[in-house]
Amino acid sequence: MGGAARGEPVDRARGWSHVDPPGFVRLAFQPVPEAKTVKNRLHLDLEVAAAGPAAAGAEELGATRVGAEVRDEQGAFQVMADPEGNEFCFVSP
């Protein structure tokens, strides 16, 4: 995620992590004991120059593509899932 958000991830005690993208708010993450059972309560859309290359880079880190890249008059997006199944999107203009 560090490359996608242009900030370096910082791991903290009790499994917490955060990233401080330059010029943006801190994104913090904390583990929960339960496994994912339904759709995400929070879904991140990450703006990138091009969804395809961003998806390929995320796959190298363990993410998987969910369906095909979607393109329309507003741009493109690719739904992704992290190794635990949490979904997020790469969105490009």
Domains within the chain, CATH numbers bracketed:
1-33 (no CATH), 43-93 (3.10.180.10)
- Residue 13 has phi, psi (to 5 degrees) of -65, 155
**Distance, C-alpha 42 to centroid of its chain:** 11
Closest among 42, 47, 48, 39 to 66, alpha carbons compared: 39
Dump pLDDT digits (tens) for 52-91: 999 999 999 999 999 999 998 888 999 999 998 889 999 9
Dump pLDDT digits (tens) for 6-46: 788 899 988 888 888 888 878 888 888 887 788 777 788 98
